[in-house]
Chain A
Amino acid sequence: MKLTITDLGKQYRSDLWGLKNFSLDIKPGILGLLGPNGAGKSTFMRMLATITKPTDGAILWNEIDIVRSPDTLRAILGYLPQDFGVYPNLNAVEFLEYMAAIKGLDSTTAKKRIDELLELVNLKDAAKRPLGGYSGGMKQRVGIAQALLNDPQLLIVDEPTVGLDPEERVRFRNLLSDLSGERIVILSTHIVSDVEATATRIALVNKGKLLCESAPEDLLKELEGKVWEWSVSSDDLTALKQKHIVSGTIRRSDGVQIRAVSATPPASQARGVDANLEDAYLYFIGGQQ
């Protein structure tokens, strides 16, 4: 099972590329696609999901070109779009029956699978209520259930935790981790903690370009000796933010504790601390900007 992306590009206007020279080899596990809003993540996801066609490059699923033969991938694809919508007057069972039919599942398999998935996403009790009355988190769970109906080998979820409360976000991350196993899961987000909790590989994207792709621990290794903490007065904070990549501030009675990424010690009293993914994200994305 392998997804190979080679020199992928999407041009919207003569002077505007949504994505350019994007190459990646993806194997089973969770790939966290991390980048700011407008980085090109959704453009990439939509091309992978066969919704839009690339301007340049190739996407190969087990060596088969899915731009030319999209149905090869569609049969084993689960997709949860960023702006997932439902028919508000259908209930979860009716909606999933509908989705199962258009994904090509027969009636017996669909019924069994819908029961399992409603159990998995903890919606059994609300299964007969109209979807229009569901909370954002419940709708997202319906979304993940529909994406899993055909037991996909490739699962693409685009910004799945936007709009979820902290408890629902944690539940969703756990669900995603449980699902990964022997399938490729591509999780696109701008929320670092989502990726930190689930991803086995991380790809950082900005301005339509792939900045780096590696295991989270390798990404953190690159920041060894580059993350610092020290205290300053509140008045110095603005100037420091312009000078360094500040990844955190904590207000204290004697001033502000700063956390910043820098190749050299930014101040004489600064002490080195362990890096986290938020530092790495800011280092790579901030460095490019």
Chain B
Amino acid sequence: MSAVRVIYHLARADFLERVRRYSFLVMLGLVTLLGYQTAIGNVRLQLGQYRGEFNSAWIGGMISIITTFFLGWFGFYLVKGSVARDRETGVGQIMATTPMSRPFYMLGKWISNFAVLIAMVVILMIFGLIIQLISSENTGLNFNTYLLPFVFIVMPLMAVVAAVAVLFEAVPFL
């Protein structure tokens, strides 16, 4: 049994099942609204009277902090429930009769949770780039500086949120 193949298909099936639901579209709509509110200046990062120039580094940092704040809090509620769904649909019963190990199952669920959260992060990232281009304060896109806050702040936090969601479902007393 190829571990990579098992984990990939587990995560893929779970991810596809979720992103094709209406509830996911609603979530995407809310994230888009958040991105839009940021673009028109209703949600912004400001230090007293001052704010940074809308260049790639500042906008990357600003969108990262906004994403961290919103998805850090609500992301758990968005992604939890995948283990319960296997139990409710009966798919879990079939899984229990296969040679697949429990760690593979947990890892697959974690990747799926992470992928769902990252899908939303990507939407906000796109809005960040649009904000920079529309504001025209500094139109020079620097992808490295733009992406760094996402890589070092957002993605690790989303990985933790995804893992905590699996943990809460896997440990009965939680």
Contact = CB atoms under 8 A, between A and B. Distances in A.
A268 B131 CA distance: 97
A169 to B, nearest CB: 20
Contacts of A267: none
A74 B89 contact: no
B20 interface: yes
A85 B90 contact: yes
B5 A107 contact: yes
Interface of A: 49-51, 71, 74-75, 77, 79, 81, 83-90, 94-95, 97-104, 106-107, 130, 146
Contacts of B95: 102
Interface size range of chain B in the complex: 20 to 34
Interface stretch (B9-17, B36-44, B56-64, B70-78): B9-17
A184 to B, nearest CB: 15
Contacts of A85: 88-91
A89 B9 contact: no
A99 B99 contact: no
Nearest to B87: A85
Contacts of B98: 74, 102-104
A50 B94 contact: no
Interface string B1-40: 1100110111011101110110000000000000000000
Given A87-B13, A94-B16, A77 B8 contact: no
Nearest to B18: A89
Contact of A51 (B12, B18, B88, B96): B96
A132 to B, nearest CB: 9
A77 B100 CA distance: 13
5 contacts: A85-B89, A90-B20, A102-B98, A102-B100, A130-B20
A146 B95 CA distance: 11
A81 B10 CA distance: 20
B97 A50 contact: yes
A81 B13 contact: no
Nearest to B17: A87
Given A98-B10, A106-B5, A50 B96 contact: yes
B136 interface: no
B91 A101 contact: no
